[in-house]
């Protein structure tokens, strides 16, 4: 079900902790980008923020950026971070296809794709976050040897992503078609993941390197 726009909440976003302006020129002055010895990790499609907030809390020496195109959804995540703001967490509302304008030149060590929209119709393939065009954007963002981590409940999207990564020359490994039977203690569960687990659906996961 589509979330109704929260216009008052969206109006608050610019003044909320960690929310940064979607302007490449001013973005590059962010202190998180100037700390060259501090790793940067990005979640594309950060949704309501459970994953990225948990990661930033668990890894205080890493700078995390939650990318969410829908401002109303990003407001929900930013509100969760408002009471005790994490200094190593930023939120940015921008289309993923434009991320090279912000992080280009190999600024990030890792990208997370958690339960991305599979866009199952063939005509919508360019919108998929693992299309050939998007994988080229990720190469611009990631450091040499940078890491991409993907989780999904959609087997067809998992298979498509695996095929595209191999076709585009990525190194792929650490694959599973049932994450929660593999006893990965490092896994942080997202809000979507909880829903799928209640339904008994398997979770597909892979990692790839540039």
Q: Which residue, among 42, 57, 146, has the nearest Cα to 99 in the 3D structure?
A: 42
3-state SS, residue 83: coil
| Contact of 177 with 202, CB cutoff 8 Å | yes
User: Count H helices, E strands: the chain?
Assistant: 9, 7
Q: Alpha-carbon distance 188 to 140, whole Å?
A: 26
Is 178 designated active site? no
Q: Write the burial class of residue 74 (CB in 10 Å: 0-12 exposed, 13-18 middle, 19+ buried).
A: buried
Which of 30, 95, 117, 153 is the catalytic position? 117
Round to whole Å and give the CA distance between 47 and 18: 15
Taking the C-alpha atoms of residue 125 and residue 16, their distance in angstroms, rounded to an integer, is 35
Please list the active-site residues: 117
């Amino acid at each position: 079900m589509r979330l109704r726009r929260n216009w008052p909440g969206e109006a608050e976003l610019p003044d909320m902790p960690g929310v940064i302006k979607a302007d490449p020129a001013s973005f590059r002055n962010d202190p998180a980008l100037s700390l060259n010895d501090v790793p940067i990790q990005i979640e594309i499609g950060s949704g309501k923020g459970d994953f990225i907030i948990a990661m930033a809390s668990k890894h205080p020496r890493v700078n995390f950026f939650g990318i969410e195109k829908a401002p109303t959804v990003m407001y929900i995540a930013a509100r969760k971070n408002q009471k005790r703001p994490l200094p190593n967490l930023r939120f940015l509302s921008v289309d993923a296809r434009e991320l090279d304008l912000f992080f280009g030149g190999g600024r990030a060590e890792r990208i997370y794709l958690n339960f991305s929209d599979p866009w199952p119709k063939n005509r919508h393939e360019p919108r998929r976050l693992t299309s050939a065009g998007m994988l080229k954007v990720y190469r611009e963002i990631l450091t040499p040897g940078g890491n991409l981590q993907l989780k999904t409940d959609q087997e067809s999207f998992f298979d498509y992503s695996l095929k595209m990564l191999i076709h585009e020359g990525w190194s792929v490994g650490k694959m599973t078609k049932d994450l929660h039977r593999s006893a990965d203690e490092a896994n942080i569960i997202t809000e979507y993941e909880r829903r799928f687990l209640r339904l008994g659906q398997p979770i597909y996961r892979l990692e790839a390197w540039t």
